[in-house]
Structure 1
Amino acid sequence: MLYSLAVSLAGRMRAIMEIESEMVEAERNHLGKEIVRALEQKRSELINSCIRDELLVIKTVMNVGRSERGYRYYFDREDVEIIHLPIELTGPELMQKYSYYLVHRTKQELAYGIEYYTAVSEQLKEGMEILKL
């Protein structure tokens, strides 16, 4: 059930990532704090318009993206290498595994966990790739 909802929410997750990339671009090009704030508001409204089950699925996809890969950190530079470990579970099994502790969270806790986390796009992108969404 979670996996089929994730498939149907792929467009919304891409929309969140698109808004975040617009925010990064606006900051990079120094377009003004008002534009960045407007984009942050747009992203916040998109996240908060989701029902609890949708937020649960989005947060689960983020958790898959964060935890199902290996990472190598270097002491002499800022970049992080992603190690593509073999994925042994199916999409539905991964969704079940990574949603286990999230089922106890309220809608507000889930929304806050997505809205104020800094690596949302990175984790969503990676999670969607792993889950083939």
Structure 2
Amino acid sequence: MYLLAKQLAGSMRALVTIENEIVEAKRRPEAEQDVLALEKERSTLIRSFTRSELLVIQTVMNIGQSERGYRFYANSERSEHGDHYEIIHLPIELNEHELMQKYSYYLVHKTERELADGIEYYTAVSEQLKEGMAILKI
């Protein structure tokens, strides 16, 4: 599974890039059509993956979400939304293969559509993918 994750690194980076472009486009009020086009491109990319690839991508996201600790600051002045969190870089004791096995354990029961829907409708995909890829060193 880890080998497939390494092979999918470029595709995961492409997904992160599209999401960053969506965020940038949303900051421009006249860019509504651009946002729609980018969201369609993101959806098409996600739906183009096989079940195995979606399983790996979701696993990398889960690692990025759950393997580190987070400190949350409500009503922080560091964010325009008032909330801020920072990653606590806890030591990671499992190797890459063990992490992939641990975080994919329950995902193996999901269908291709369930995996794709979960990735497509989740809003923090790029954050979690970047962190998961950093943890896995891919």
TM-score range, shorter chain: over 0.9
Q: In structure 1, what residue type is equivalent to 2:120?
A: E
Which of 115, 122, 126 lines up with 2:127 in the alignment?
A: 122
Which blocks of at least 5 consecutive residues in structure 1 are unaligned? none
- Structure 2 distance, partners of 1:58, 1:86, is 23
Q: Does 2:8 align with 1:9?
A: yes
- Structure 2 distance, partners of 1:18, 1:31, is 21
Contact kept in structure 1, 2:75 and 2:84, CA below 8 Å: no
TM-align CA RMSD: 0.8
Q: CA deviation at 1:74?
A: 1.7
- Structure 1 distance, partners of 2:68, 2:28, is 32
Q: CA deviation at 1:76?
A: 3.5
Q: CA deviation at 1:12?
A: 0.2
Deviation per residue, 1:38-73 (Å, 9 max, x gap): 000000000000000000000000000000000011
1:1-133 matched pairs, under 5 angstroms:
2-77=1-76, 78-133=83-138
Q: How many residues align?
A: 132
- Structure 2 distance, partners of 1:39, 1:74, is 31
Q: CA deviation at 1:28?
A: 1.1
TM-score, structure 1 as length reference:
0.97
Which blocks of at least 5 consecutive residues in structure 2 are unaligned? 77-82
- Structure 1 distance, partners of 2:74, 2:3, is 40
Identity %: 66
- Structure 1 distance, partners of 2:28, 2:100, is 37
Deviation per residue, 1:87-130 (Å, 9 max, x gap): 00000110000000000000000000000101000000000000
